[in-house]
Amino acid sequence: MNEPPEGLSRPESVDPASDAKPADAKPADARLAALVAEYVDRVNLGERIDRDAILAVHPDLGRQVLEKLAIYQGIELGSDDNQPKSIGDYRILRPVGRGGMGIVYEAWEGSMDRPVALKVLPPGVAADPKTVSRFVREAQLAGKLRHPNVVPVYGMGIRQGTPFYSMELVDGKTLAQILARLKAADGKEAERKTILQGVSGLFGKGVSAAHDAPVVPEVPALGPKSPLESGDFDLEYYARLAKAFAGVAEGLQHAHSKGIIHRDIKPSNLILDCEGRLRILDFGLARLEGQESLTLSGDFVGTPQYMSPEQARRKKIEVDHHTDIYSLGATLYEMLALQPPFRGKDHADTLSQIIEREPVEPRKINPSVPRDLETIVLKCLRKEATDRYGTAEALGQDLQRFARGDAVEAKPRPVWDRTFRRAWQSRGKLAAALCVLLLLVLSGLMLQDRLARLERGIQDRYREKVLGAVLKLELGLS
């Protein structure tokens, strides 16, 4: 998408083709934009923002962050007062949600006579050039992609100071919405089964020629049936889930082949459409390999529970396509276990767990999870990027193997390796235990030495008494 469709224009105030900072941009401006983006993401996740904590942690920029958050949060999705009636060629119908720092509306594109999803930057937020740059980059990067598992962008522009871009209006539910229903039904087996049947049915629709081998004449099966034909409801569900995630992996491979890294794969950014395809949304944190990021080194980029260890460390290191493989694995983990791989008491604790701890095996939480699918997920979640799948394509192929009932290429870690990692993960407790043991040993040795000295003293005194008595006896006889 080199030029926007007729009737749309590019923003004049930014260079959308560049990720570099303007020459006159101050570090504080970049920090402010990054902080606002972080807290907006946290608001979108449902977190309640603590005003006093923001002021305490960021004394220099806290008030400005709060002002921008107030503008963003002040736009109620159901309020007719805040909702525009139209933007350019688009007639606004109703709000459908939030995405990153934008509001997403269902709209009607008059010139093309079709429904679209229109993402709009609110006026107060759009006043910040850095935020507009990020918004434009999101539209441009997504606009480069054409894949069945990526929601396409149609066009972008600015009208009356309001940046916007249009994309396909997808009829479906995000994985975050599906997970919320499954978690609410946890412990209610009948309700959970009903939800899973509906989701499994949708996943089943997504089994298309694009993801399957070419059709060949049927021959009698000589070996065991594939999971999709097993008649076991749980196994069929997991096979369909794996095929759906294989489609997402293929979509990511398409993005990676164009140098685009998403950096924020999570349940709310994956939508299951009515045709059973799992599709990627929201490229707001994406970056193009070889270009400078819009966020500063060390800034918080991504959603904590699904961030890779290299993202969580927030060091000046290259974050490549392996981070998307990790995040997709973390999302699949949550679909299996109904909880993310790591969940601390706060953001800092979550990040620490991602860096330091090994995830609990999904089968320990949900024994119905097939062992091979667990192995695939755990390979995605390895700490070292090079220990994961080399490409998203390789991940997708392994998920397809599992769905067909073939042997997967991922192998579980050796027992000695898992034991060592658990020991390293608990090294603090082990060190404390060793200190206690050492103290007990030293105390025992000191006590033993004390008792030995007491015994020697008793023996010496006894010997002196005996010698004294013998001496007296000899003197008396003489």
Q: What residues act catalytically? A: 264
Indicate the SS3 state at residue 72: helix
Residue type, 366: N
How far from 337 is each of 120, 249, 363, CA to CA, in Å?
Answer: 35, 20, 8
The answer to whether the beta carbons of residues 295 and 30 sit under 8 Å apart is yes
Distance between CA atoms of 219 and 221, rounded to whole angstroms?
6
CA distance 75 to 44: 13
For residue 420, give both structure tokens.
């060592």
Task: With CA atoms as reference, report the closest residue to 99 among 120, 125, 115.
Answer: 120
Q: Are 408 and 401 in contact (CB under 8 A)?
A: yes
Nearest to 283 by CA among 308, 259, 305: 259
Direct distance between the N- and C-terminal alpha carbons of the chain, in angstroms, rounded to an integer: 127
**Helices 371-380 & 392-404 angle (0-180, nearest 10):** 170
Cα–Cα distance measured from residue 10 to residue 400, given in angstroms and rounded to the nearest whole number: 41
